[in-house]
């Protein structure tokens, strides 16, 4: 359903049990089938402009997310943090199990999680064109207070072109947009 594309999965909203996704393989990465065609069109358009886009991470099961989170917590504990602090610090960069957008299959990490990705021609191209294909920068630098996730220039989420353009026009992150739509009803 169209509303499925706006499913909010974050620190306070866990993955709905009844969320429907059909996971397919795209270039060796699992994603929801609904993003295949839009991504391929976006990739081709970027290529035509001399910019190369590739998916480094897509769908993750809750179990896989759990492993990633536990590993981050362990690393923090190895660095001398107590459990509570280790979990809190881990949650800033690795979503808790069931709280990751990657569980939806609608989120993708592009071009290999690079901290300096926002300085690249690829990032500039995405900033200009991603919404045309229905993709949004999910964790913008100026929305960390709301998303509770640090700036991730590589993490894009498919919401469909109509929603993506509406969000861009209003300068909303997904949390703000979902709340805005609920208030319109």
Short-list 137, 147, 142, 144, CA closest to 167 = 137
Two tokens, residue 11: 């620190």
Sheet holding 55-57, edge to edge: 55-57, 107-110, 155-158, 135-137
**Active-site annotation holds for 152:** yes
Query: 42 and 129 in contact (C-beta within 8 Å)?
Result: yes
CB atoms within 10 A of CB 77: 15
Where would I find the H helices in 51-143?
62-78, 83-93, 121-129
* From 124, 152, 162, 176, active-site residue: 152
Pairing of strands 135-137, 107-110: unpaired
Two tokens, residue 179: 């709340």
Active site residues: 152
């Amino acid at each position: 359903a169209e509303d499925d594309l706006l499913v909010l999965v974050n620190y306070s909203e866990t993955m709905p049990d009844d969320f429907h996704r059909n996971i397919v393989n795209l270039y060796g990465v699992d994603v929801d089938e609904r993003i295949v065609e839009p991504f391929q069109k976006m990739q081709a358009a970027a290529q035509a402009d001399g910019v190369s886009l590739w998916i480094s991470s897509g769908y993750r099961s809750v179990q896989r997310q759990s492993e990633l989170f536990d590993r981050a917590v362990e690393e923090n504990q190895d660095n001398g943090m107590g459990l509570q602090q280790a979990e809190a610090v881990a949650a800033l960069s690795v979503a808790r199990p069931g709280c990751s957008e990657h569980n939806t299959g609608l989120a993708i990490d592009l071009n290999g999680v690079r901290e300096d990705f926002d300085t690249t021609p690829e990032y500039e191209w995405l900033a200009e064109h991603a919404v045309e294909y229905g993709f949004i920068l999910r964790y913008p630098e100026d929305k960390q207070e709301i998303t509770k996730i640090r700036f991730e220039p590589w993490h894009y989420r498919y919401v469909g072109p109509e929603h993506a353009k509406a969000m861009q026009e209003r300068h909303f992150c997904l949390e703000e947009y979902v709340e805005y739509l609920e208030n319109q009803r």
